[in-house]
Amino acid sequence: MASPMEADPQVLIPTTKKGIGLQGNHEGYLKALMGVKDELEAAVKSPGAGQAIQSTMQNAWTKGNALAVSLQGLLDIMMDTANKIDSKDMDNFLQLMRTEGAETGAAALGADGRAMDNPGKISPDWS
């Protein structure tokens, strides 16, 4: 069962955008890693050492790429969630505004703050 989550889109969206920027930096570092790998491949002449360097660098890139994919998935979820929270809250607000004037709204329950104007609905005298 999912637990309820409280989040403010005004905080979640900028935080996610910052994460997206950092994710871009991470991808830049992965590209730089592949550039270094290519330079080392050209510089190292020993077949055993060259192969070990290539294998290690490729493994590092593979793990870094997997991290990038996971981070991007999390950032996508955060942004989608922020947008859903925002639109859902707005929908709820609009629904409340539509029913406010109707007999099923807050005013119909006597909870409009005007107890003296609605003596038949609520009495301010509890004695």
Could you tell me if residue 24 is inside a domain? yes
Averaged pLDDT, 33-54: 88
Helix-helix angle 47-100:9-43, to 10 degrees: 170
Q: What is the pLDDT of residues 68-89, one digit of tens each?
A: 999 999 999 988 888 877 677 7
Residues 53, 105 contacting (CB under 8 angstroms) = no
Q: What is the pLDDT of residues 101-116, one digit of tens each?
A: 555 555 555 555 555 5
Could you tell me if residue 62 is inside a domain? yes
Could you tell me if residue 16 is inside a domain? yes
Share of the chain above pLDDT 90, in %: 35
Could you tell me if residue 27 is inside a domain? yes
Could you tell me if residue 99 is inside a domain? no
Could you tell me if residue 46 is inside a domain? yes
Could you tell me if residue 98 is inside a domain? no
Specify burial of residue 23 (Cβ count, 10 A radius: 0-12, 13-18, 19+).
middle
Q: What is the pTM of this model?
A: 0.58
Q: Which residue has the tokens 């793990």?
A: 63
Could you tell me if residue 48 is inside a domain? yes
Q: Which two tokens stand for residue 113?
A: 């703050």
Q: What is the mean pLDDT of the chain?
A: 78
Question: What local confidence, expressed as pLDDT, does residue 4 receive?
Answer: 47
In the chain, the number of structural domains is 1
Which residue range(s) make up the domain with 19?
Answer: 9-84
Share of the chain above pLDDT 70, in %: 71
